[in-house]
Amino acid sequence: MTSLINISEVNKLTSEQFEWMFGNVIELCTEAAANVHKKIPFGCVAEFCDAFHQYLDDLPMEGKLVILKLHPDLAGRMAAAGQLTHESAVEQKCAGLNDLTKEQRDIIDISNERYKSKFGFPFIICARENKVQSIIDGLRRRYSNTRDQEIATGINEVKKICKLRILDLVKDD
């Protein structure tokens, strides 16, 4: 984890520095960081988080779908191949997804594929706020949602992930 910087230091970053530091608070979306940088200065970390959340809220439906599709499957092939972003790898490990039993892995793999087939994007849940069983339960429960409900739920989960990633990097003055 990077050492924390103050919000006043965030306000002094060049656009390149800002994008480098915050380009993955929304998974693989440097565009979000570029957009939020234009809103400097921020008075506090909460205001900073709100700017990223507002970016997500302002996206048209197709933009929201792009964001959702940037996320990897939980405990999927990318994780097994060591191809996750550093942040995703840490989050999935925190949830216990690196230590699945064969039965749990099979359930998650089948559920992930079923979910993606129905909705057209990966199942997204804030792994740092969940453990293996709650993730499995979420996959099962949310499968009965409509696509619109899942887009909204997925974006809300992205907001939770984003906030935690920001709190790993930034503190108030």
pLDDT in tens, 79-136: 888 899 999 999 999 999 999 999 999 999 999 999 999 999 999 999 999 999 999 9
Q: How far is residue 69's CA from residue 48's CA, in Å, rounded to a whole number? A: 24
153: confidence class by pLDDT, cuts 50, 70, 90: very high
In this chain, the answer to whether the domains covering 5-66+167-171 and 73-156 adopt an identical fold is yes
Instruction: Tell me the average pLDDT across 27-45.
Output: 97
> Looking at residue 80, what is its pLDDT?
83
> Looking at residue 3, what is its pLDDT?
66
Strand, coil or helix: what is 169? helix
DSSP 95: T
List the catalytic residues: 71
Amino acid identity, residue 77?
R
Helices (H), the chain: 7-10, 15-22, 30-37, 45-58, 61-69, 77-80, 86-94, 102-119, 132-142, 147-169
Instruction: Tell me the average pLDDT across 58-66.
Output: 98
> Other CB atoms closer than 10 Å to residue 102's CB: what's the count?
7
In 3D, which of 171, 111, 167, 166 has the Cα closest to residue 143? 111
Record: fold of 73-156? UraD-like (1.10.3330)
Sorted by where each begins, the domain ranges of the chain are 5-66+167-171, 73-156
Q: How far is residue 69's CA from residue 101's CA, in Å, rounded to a whole number? A: 27
Q: How far is residue 148's CA from residue 87's CA, in Å, rounded to a whole number? A: 27
Give the architecture-level CATH label for domain 5-66+167-171.
Answer: Orthogonal Bundle (1.10)
Query: In this prediction, what percent of the chain has a pLDDT beyond 90?
Result: 93
164 pLDDT above the threshold of 80: yes
Helix then strand then coil, % of the chain, to nearest 5 = 65, 0, 35
1 pLDDT above the threshold of 60: no
Instruction: Tell me the average pLDDT across 49-70.
Output: 98
pTM: 0.95
